[in-house]
Structure formats: C-alpha cells, structure tokens
Structure 1
Amino acid sequence: MTAELRRLRSGPSAEDDQARPFLVRLRFTAEDPAQVLADARAVLTCVVAQVDDWPADEVWPQLLPAWFIQRCAPEAPEPDQGEPFDVKAWLRRWRAMTSDQRAAVDEGRWTLLGWLYYFDPTDEGRGDDRSWWWWHAGIDASGGWVQVATTGWPFGSGSLSWLIEASGGADLLYGQ
C-alpha cells in the first residue's frame, strides 16, 4: 500500500512526520464537512488504488462512486487531433454541445477524464508528475480542511479543488 493510500485511510503516521514535506491546507465550508471528507476520500482512494494498473477510460464510471460521475461535466466531443487551433472548428464544437455540456463549462465543473488526467501514470497523463498528495484532513469550528503535501507554492491545485467541490465543499481557501 502506498503512503498516500495509507494516509487516506488512517491519516499520517509517525513515519510521515519524519518526512517533513511542504504542506498546504485547503479550508472549505459545507453543511456536513465530515461527509465531504468521506466522499473525497472515497473517490481519491479509488483512484490512488488504481495507479499500478491504470484502467481504460471507459472503466472508470464503474469504479468511481456514481454521485461523483454525475457531478462531473459531460465529456465534450473530441477535437480534431494534429491541427492548429481553429476558431471556426471550436465554435462548431461549442454549438454542437448540449445545454448540459455548455452549462458545465460555464460552471467550472471538470469532466471525469479531464480530472483523471492529473492522476494517470501512463504516457497520456501526468500522474507521475502530480503536484499534490493527500496528507491529512479534519473538521473544526469553521468547517473542514484538507492538508496536502505539495511540490511548493503555488502548485497545481485545480484537481484538488474540483474533488472537494464535487464532494460538496464550498468557499475554498488555500493557506499553510
């Protein structure tokens, strides 16, 4: 079991404390912060557990919780590969999107595959170059918090933000 998977399941250990990573805390509000953390852990645990045997794109909807899949934006039609950016082609794709797809873009929701890209250890993804790893989490009087080990500040926090937002967190605020 990887150290991150162990921390997702039971928090940091004395061994982790000796590592002294650069830690960043993400605070959020929610009606039920404990449920947000439970949901975020469920999704991330599933993803981290798959890193050694990364599933095909079409398998993920069967592996991840249905609520997470439903909160992700619908996948957009594939752009033409190998061509320079074509405004007219982009406009055609935009016009071909359903209203749900357009609304998701406007809301800032991530597609499932767009989110998974940041964990994918294969050549197609960046999983071997992630910029954050789950460290610890909890709740306090102001809401919930997630602490992540990072490669420095600033770091690529979008995938973490989407995980917490999709899990029900709001009013996200990063700090140390």
Structure 2
Amino acid sequence: MTGELRRLRSGPGAEDDDEPRPFLVRLRFTAEEPAQVIDNARAVLTCVVSQMGDWPTDELWPQLLPTWFIQRCAPETPEPEHGEPFDVAAWLRQWRAMTPEERAAVDQGLWTLSGWLYYFDPTEEWETIAAGGGGTQEPTSRAAGCRWPPQAGPSEAVHCPG
C-alpha cells in the first residue's frame, strides 16, 4: 500500500510508468472549490488506505476519519431485531419492484459510513454486478458505481454513472 499512499499524497510519478494500469478513470465534476474537494478526498482516502494492513472495527472509524466526513454520512441502519438475519430475498423483491426512477433516487442519497467503508474493506470478497434481462442491472454486493458518498466539503458528490 505504500505506492498507493504515495500516489494519494503526491500523484503518479515516473516510478509508476512501469506498473500496469488496468484502467483509467477520468471524472468531471463541478464544485465551488475544486481544490478543496480534491484535498478532502485525499485526506479521507489516505486515512482509509493507511489502515489496510490492520483493518479497524466499525466502531473505531469515526475516531480515525475527519469529523466533517463522519457528519456527512447517513445515520446507520439499525440491526434486525432479535438477531434476525437480513432478508435478502425480501430486499431484492422490493428492489425489482421499483421503477428506474425510484432506483435512481435510492442511489442519490447519502451513504452510511459502514456502507461506504465496505467497498474498501480488505476482508470482504468482491462480487461482480449481474446484468438482468433487457439490460437492467441487479444489485449485488460491491456493485456500486464510483461515487463520493457523503458530500465532499463545499461541493456536489462525485458520481460516475455506470
């Protein structure tokens, strides 16, 4: 992770030219203070990447990340009552019953801190997104687009449409 931390702090360098780059993502966004947005993103991502070797518990993250970031996250969803497991089938039925507009509205909301951190957690396994009939996408874990979930300071959220 030292290479990733170096790139976060100072950008890509000549030493990166020999490394394979599987893809390049270019983002276009608007912000009143774009340099501040980049600085904010860099601060949060540096904190997260520096924890990859010893991934903290969910309870510890609010102490590690900047307060402004934590305050912009949605409240955590309460655990199911009485230790009942999450009903994936019921959630998927509800998702499939939504119109494309309703699905898009769900994606526009703020993320919980745990939901955002999930996409960085090295202990989680990655899954791919499955395309349903007619080109619709079915949600699976790790099937989120590129998004800066909580608003990154004085800006709008960065979102890369799939």
For normalisation by structure 1, the TM-score amounts to 0.63
Q: Which residue in the other structure is 2:10 paired with?
A: 10
Shift in Å, 1:118:
0.8
* Pairwise CA RMSD: 3.3
Higher relative strand content: 1
Report whether the alignment pairs 1:166 with 2:161: no
Task: State the AA in 2 paired with 1:45.
Answer: T
Contact 2:72 2:151 in 1 (8 A): no
Once residues 83 and 173 of structure 1 are traced to their aligned partners in structure 2, the CA distance between those partners, rounded to angstroms, is 28
Task: Flag the 1:17–1:86 CA change in 2: closer, same or farther, 3 A.
Answer: same
What is residue 63 of structure 1 aligned with on the other side? 64
Q: Secondary structure at the match of 1:120?
A: coil
Are the equivalent residues in 1 in contact too, given 2:31–2:154 (CA < 8 A)?
yes
User: How many Å apart are 1:169 and its aligned residue?
Assistant: 3.6
| d(CA) in 2 for partners of 1:57, 1:168 | 26
Match of 1:81 among 78, 82, 85: 85
- Structure 1 residues 67 and 106, CA gap change in structure 2 (3 angstroms): same
TM-score of the two chains, using structure 2 as the length reference = 0.67
- Structure with higher RCO (Cα < 8 A, 6+ apart): 1
Structure 2 partner of 1:117: 118
Unmatched tracts of structure 1, length 5 or more: 91-104, 132-154
* Long gaps (5+) in structure 2: 95-105, 129-141
Secondary structure at the aligned position of 2:85 is classed as: coil
Aligned residue-pair number: 132
Query: How far apart in 1 are the matches of 2:44 and 2:150?
Result: 10
Map 1:44-59 to 2 at 5 A: 44-59=45-60
The runs of at least 4 consecutive aligned structure 1 residues that moved more than 4 Å come to 171-175
Cα distance per residue 1:62-109 (max 9 Å; x no partner):
00000000101000111331656447xx9xxxxxxxxxxxxxx68511
| CA pair 163-117 structure 1, distance change in 2 beyond 3 A | same
Amino-acid identity (%): 61
The 5 A counterparts of 1:24-63 are 24-63=25-64
